[in-house]
Structures are given as structure tokens and as C-alpha cells.
Amino acid sequence: MAKRILVAGSSNIDFMLTTPYIPAPGETLLSGGKYAFTPGGKGANSAIAAKAMGADVIFCSRVGDDAYGDRLISLFNERGIDTRYIKVDRLEQTGLAVVMLEKNGTNRIIAFSGANSKISDSDIEGAFSAYPDAVLTQFEIRPDAVIAAARLANDEGIPLFVDAGSAKADFPLEKLERVEIFSPNEAETEILTGIRPDNLENCLRASISLCNRVDIKYVVLKLGERGCYVYDGKYCDLISPFDVNVVDTTAAGDVFTAALTTEYLRTGDILSSAKFANAAGALATTKLGAVNSVPTLEEVKNLLENKF
Ligand code: ADP
């Protein structure tokens, strides 16, 4: 039976504009490319990716009482996500992210939190009445809400998975208490530990530094085109990336951690799950957009079996 994952996190509309380069201050640049309004937000990306990878997903989030909020909830329903714990906030606008995407696939994002900033402890507590088997959260919501999700997961004795997306240096990691998998990308690793994971020694130092602050079973560092690094408190492994044509790296990290969580809950095997997540993350870079770039389970399996 599919595992039930409670995703506690943000929902946004992404306004995406492609550009040949980032304009200098005062410069007006004609993009010459395309723009799009697409669904996104780390919580939404994770929820949709976990569902696509085969989990049953309960999504706890907030949107504004506006057309963007309606559109997001319709999309989550279409994808088969349990939306009973998404609140429509009458006082706030739906979250928005302005994404500037350069030709080489690099993105720069300015996010407006809106309704996401009002996701409360009691929103998350309410979602536990759906009896999740695991909790997956990220740092794109209030720190107190992340800590509440962690406390409730630990109290219930269900595993907690943390994607360190949007991590801030002053987040009190100690308050997470016990984490099954903690997964930051390179920038987030540096923000949280002061160590850039640019070589194996630094990956190990950063992982140890995280484990010294919080009881983490597995640290999985997302290393972009270098794949990922797994540390279990004793042993470490660098898991090779898949070779793909990169179009847009938006949401690769969210897809990676959602796939890692889903596959790990299915198999209990961290190394094969990390390989699975590498395939899902790589596929996410081959398409434009956030939610739109979430691969299917079949695509991930085909890449793992080297069928293109
Ligand atoms: P984020 O999107 O949070 O910055 P990363 O860039 O590290 O995170 O990407 C997450 C994962 O996606 C990586 O660990 C890797 O598995 C996969 N990935 C990202 N970029 C590439 C790439 N250029 N080639 C192959 N896989 C990639």
C-alpha cells in the first residue's frame, strides 16, 4: 500500500521570464523569450512530486482568496492530492515567486510569501488527523510552523523528512529533535554550516556539523551536476548524477527530496533511494518550470534502466 506523506509547506504562483542575461541596475532589457504563470512553491512542488512518485499525499498549506489560490487548489485536486488541509486565507494574497531564468538554465528568484506566512501550528496539527505515515517539510514557511511539524511527527513516532530549501542561518536546527533524512543543496549547506560542500572532505565536515546539531539518521547533500552525497553518521557515499540536457534547474531540489522520501519509505534503502532521487532531480532539469517539470514515475524508472 502507498505510504501517506503529509507535506507541510508553501504554495506559490511562479511568474517566470526567460532572459539572455540579468540586467544591470537601471538597464531595461527586452527578454525576447517567453513568460509564463505556473504553479510552484517548495511545498507544492514536493507534494506534486511525491504523488507522482507513488505516495498518497496530504498537503497542508495556505493560499489567498483569489484566482491564483483557486487555480492552485484545482491543480492539486487534479493531481489526486488530499487538499482538505489547505486553508483559504481571506486576508492574504496567494504566494508569488518572480523567477528570472537565464539561457544557461540558472535561475534567480524573488518570492512573496503572502498566505504561506500564515501557515500555523494548528493548521499542521489539524492535518495530522489524516493519519500520515511520514512528514515532509521545507523552510519556506515560518520557522515555528516547521518546528511544530517536527514536534508533531516526533510525538507521533513517524519519520520526519526535511528539505532544507530556503534555509536561514539563524534557524534553530536543534528544535527539530529527530530527523530521518535532512537534505540541503550546496548553498543551504553553506548557510547552515558555514562549509561549502565543494569537495568530499567538506561534504563530510558539513554533514558532521549538521549531525552535531540535530539527531539526523541520514544527511543527503544535493550537489547539482555532481549528484548527491549520503552520510549515515559513520559511512559516506557520493552517488553519481545522470547525464541529461539541462533546460531549467527550478525545482530540481524539491523533486529530488520528494522522490528520495517516497522511495525511501517504499524500500528503506537509502543508497538506492538516493540514486532514484538523482534520476528524478536530473529529469526535473530537462523541462521548464517548477510543478511542470515533475517527471512521471515511469520516466524515472526508464532513466534508471537507461532507456531514453
Ligand atoms: P536545488 O535545485 O535545490 O539547487 P540541486 O541543484 O543540487 O538542488 O539539484 C538537486 C538534484 O537534482 C541534484 O542532487 C541532482 O540529483 C539533480 N541535478 C541537478 N542538476 C543536475 C544536472 N545538471 N545534471 C544531473 N542532475 C542534476
Within a domain: 31: no
Distance CA 230, CA 220 (A): 5
Whole-number Å distance between alpha carbons of 185 and 210:
13
State the alpha helices, DSSP H only, in 157-269: 186-193, 200-213, 252-267
Count of the separate structural domains present in the chain: 1
List, chain by chain if needed, residues with CB within 6 Å of any ligand 1 atom.
185, 222-225, 227-228, 241-242, 244, 246, 249, 252-253, 256, 278, 281-282, 285
Residue 120 falls within a domain, yes or no? yes
Dihedral of alpha carbons 57, 120, 10, 240, sign: negative
This prediction has a pTM of 0.94
Task: Name residue, grid cell 528520495.
Answer: 260
62/9 Cα distance (integer angstroms): 8
Question: Is residue 11 a contact partner of residue 44, using CB atoms and an 8 Å limit?
Answer: yes
Residue 240 DSSP SS3: coil
Residue 178 belongs to domain with CATH number? 3.40.1190.20
Q: Per the domain annotation, does 260 fall within a domain? A: yes
Max CA pair span of the chain: 56
pLDDT in tens, 11-49: 999 998 988 888 999 999 988 888 888 899 999 999 999
pLDDT (tens digit per residue) in 58-73: 999 999 999 999 999 9
Whether 78 is covered by a domain: the verdict is yes
Tell which one of 185, 245, 254 to mutate to probe ligand 1, the residue whose CB is within 8 A of the most ligand atoms.
Answer: 185
pLDDT tier at 306 (50, 70, 90 boundaries)? confident
Find the catalytic residue in 14, 198, 254, 269.
Answer: 254
227 and 240 Cβ atoms separated by less than 8 Å? yes
pLDDT digits (tens, 9 = 90+) for 121-173: 999 999 999 999 999 999 999 999 999 999 999 999 999 999 999 999 999 99
The alpha carbon of 225 and the centre of ligand 1 are apart by a number of angstroms equal to 6
- Return the higher-pLDDT residue of 200 and 248: 200
Judge whether residue 308 has pLDDT over 80: no
- Which of 183, 222, 247, 294 should be mutated for ligand 1, with most atoms under 8 A from CB? 222
Q: How far apart are CA 160 and CA 216, in angstroms?
A: 10
Annotated active-site residue 89? The verdict is no
pLDDT digits (tens, 9 = 90+) for 77-115: 999 999 999 999 999 999 999 988 888 777 788 989 999
Instruction: Give the CA count within 13 Å in the CB-facing half-sphere of 250.
Output: 31
Whether residue 304 is contained in a domain is answered as no
Evaluate whether residue 83 is within a structural domain. Answer: yes
103 lies in a domain? no
H/E element, 175: none
pLDDT at 107: 79
Calculate the alpha carbon distances from 5 to 74, 82, 146, 220, 230 in Å. Answer: 20, 10, 15, 19, 22
Domain span at residue 190 reads: 4-10+42-92+116-297
- The pLDDT value given to residue 294: 97
Which residues sit opposite 207 in a β-bridge?
A: none
209: confidence class by pLDDT, cuts 50, 70, 90 = very high
Examine residue 76 and state whether it is found in any structural domain, yes or no.
yes
User: Residue 307 above 70 pLDDT?
Assistant: no
**Residue nearest (by alpha carbon) to ligand 1 atom 2:** 253
